[in-house]
Amino acid sequence: MRMSRRALLAGGAAALAPLPALAREAQYPRPDREAMLPVPGGRVYVRVNGDLNGPRAPLVLIHGGPGGTHTSMLDALALADERAVILYDQLDSGRSDWPQDPANWRVPRFVDELEAIRLGLNVPRWHVCGISWGGTIALEYAARRPRALVSTVLGGPLIATRAWIADADALRAELPPATRDTLLACERLPPPAPAACDAATAVFYRHYNRREDAPPAMRDAARAPGNRGSNQRLYETMWGKSEFVATGTLRDYDGTPLLATLDGARTLFMVGQYDEARPVTALGFAARVPGGAEVAVIPGAAHGTLSDRPAETTGVLRGWLHRHDTPAL
């Protein structure tokens, strides 16, 4: 869940016998459909691969940030061989409109945005997967218990700010002493030189955010014409400038009471083995869902599960979606 200092994003996959992920050295498939759909506050860019009217309910994926883009989730297009896959840029990011009005940067508006996309695409039922900050939106959406919701996947989610920071503190403590001490010093006044803080932060991210480099095709997509990329102002307004201290509007966010409103049989927590959203924390959240939500840990992945281990992640998602598909209304 970083913007500059935070990522956008995040076992048992082998047992699901996943189909191969998209060839990472190749280009991602072109969208079958693109649209600028009206949502509260402006218009958002939406791309669809696969048949929205097919026999299996579509999957919509919600990117992280706040202020990230859909390009971090392009490997999920491997699932479009069986169902429509919907990706979009939230308002004020990527290829969507950039009104840059902080009045839009509220959790309920982002949830309303998701429902506006469903209505704009005329999708009667869908699966919802949110990654990182996108997991916050997915949680809030599922808590409304919409009839259109088939299942919910919370990938490395921000459920409560205090829990996120506690995880970050615990992981920072496991880093080499010099790196750990530099990161601690970067939170005090006066901080070390920016270059020292950036280098220490890069070590943290390499351990817990993304352990593999983005493939060339993903980097190309991020630089495509019309893609304005990530929105640092939005990120800093809602979160802040540091991984370890939240100073923005999300500083007191606590979605844990919403866990009691979810359907455990239709909720999956999905985290990486080395995720910033630690597996042990996800297990605790899952236990608070009535009936107990499922938890999948992607081996070898950090927070960016789709980027680090695309085949394993899409395998977990494919199996989950199969088990929860229901006939269209």
What's the pLDDT tens digit per position in 68-94? 999 999 999 999 999 999 999 999 999
The structural domain count of the chain equals: 1
Helix (H, G, I), strand (E, B), or coil: what is residue 66? coil
Nearest in space to 2 (alpha carbons), one of 250, 327, 236: 236
Residue 303, domain member (yes or no): yes
For residue 326, what pLDDT is reported?
Answer: 72
For tokens 């956008």, name the residue. Answer: 8
Residue 316, domain member (yes or no): yes
pLDDT band at 24 (very low <50, low <70, confident <90, very high): low
Residue 283, domain member (yes or no): yes
47: which DSSP letter? E
For residue 27, what pLDDT is reported?
Answer: 84
Residue 12 has pLDDT above 80, yes or no: no
Q: What is the mean pLDDT of residues 185-205?
A: 95
Residue 45, domain member (yes or no): yes
Residue 273, domain member (yes or no): yes
For residue 20, what pLDDT is reported?
Answer: 47
| DSSP calls for 214-265 | PPHHHHHHHTSTT-----HHHHHHHT-S-SS---STTTT-B-GGGGGGS-GG
Residue 177, domain member (yes or no): no
> The domain containing residue 26 runs over which residues?
14-168+213-324
For residue 48, what pLDDT is reported?
Answer: 98
Report how far apart the first and last C-alpha atoms of the chain are (Å, whole number): 35
Residue 130 has pLDDT above 90, yes or no: yes
Residue 196, domain member (yes or no): no
For residue 62, what pLDDT is reported?
Answer: 98
For residue 11, what pLDDT is reported?
Answer: 32
Residue 200, domain member (yes or no): no
pLDDT band at 23 (very low <50, low <70, confident <90, very high): low
Summarize pLDDT for 212-258 with one digit per residue, the tens.
999 999 999 999 999 999 999 999 999 998 889 999 999 999 999 99
The CATH number of whichever domain residue 110 belongs to comes to 3.40.50.1820
Is-contact 38 22, C-beta < 8 A? no
* Rounded Cα gap, residues 86 and 234, in angstroms: 23
pLDDT band at 3 (very low <50, low <70, confident <90, very high): very low
